[in-house]
């Protein structure tokens, strides 16, 4: 959730969207880091940090609902440094 994806209007996406987003981030010089993983039978969680070339960071705490080894729901709460 953030200002562009409020609780009443969450984003939805599929594997292609996520793949393209990660590839685009890498091409733009954004460093992605996953920390604090917690994994269970039907749920996982982690903190994802994106470091931008200008020094800003975006930090998201993410919970994944899993079914048959696949993500069926992802819930993020994220915050980003303001532009400087």
Contact 63, 74 (CB under 8 A): yes
Contacts of 14 (CB under 8 A, 6+ apart): none
Handedness of CA 26, 24, 79, 54 (dihedral sign): positive
pLDDT digits (tens, 9 = 90+) for 24-77: 999 999 999 999 999 999 999 999 999 999 999 999 999 999 999 888 888 989
Q: For the chain, what is the domain count?
A: 1
pLDDT digits (tens, 9 = 90+) for 17-33: 888 988 999 999 999 99
Quote the domain boundaries for residue 68.
Answer: 15-80
Contacts of 81 (CB under 8 A, 6+ apart): 55, 56, 57, 58
Domain assignment present for 45: yes
Domain assignment present for 10: no
- Which CATH number fits the domain that encloses residue 40? 3.10.450.50
Q: Which of 57, 82, 76, 81 is nearest to 18 (CA)?
A: 76
């Amino acid at each position: 959730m953030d200002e562009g994806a409020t609780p009443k209007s969450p984003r939805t996406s599929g594997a292609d969207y996520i793949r393209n987003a990660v590839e685009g981030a890498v091409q733009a010089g954004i460093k992605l880091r996953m920390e604090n993983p917690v994994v269970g039978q039907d749920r996982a969680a982690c903190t994802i940090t994106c470091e931008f070339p200008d020094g800003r960071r975006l930090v998201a705490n993410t919970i994944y609902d899993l079914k048959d080894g696949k993500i069926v729901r992802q819930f993020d709460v994220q915050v980003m440094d303001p532009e400087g």
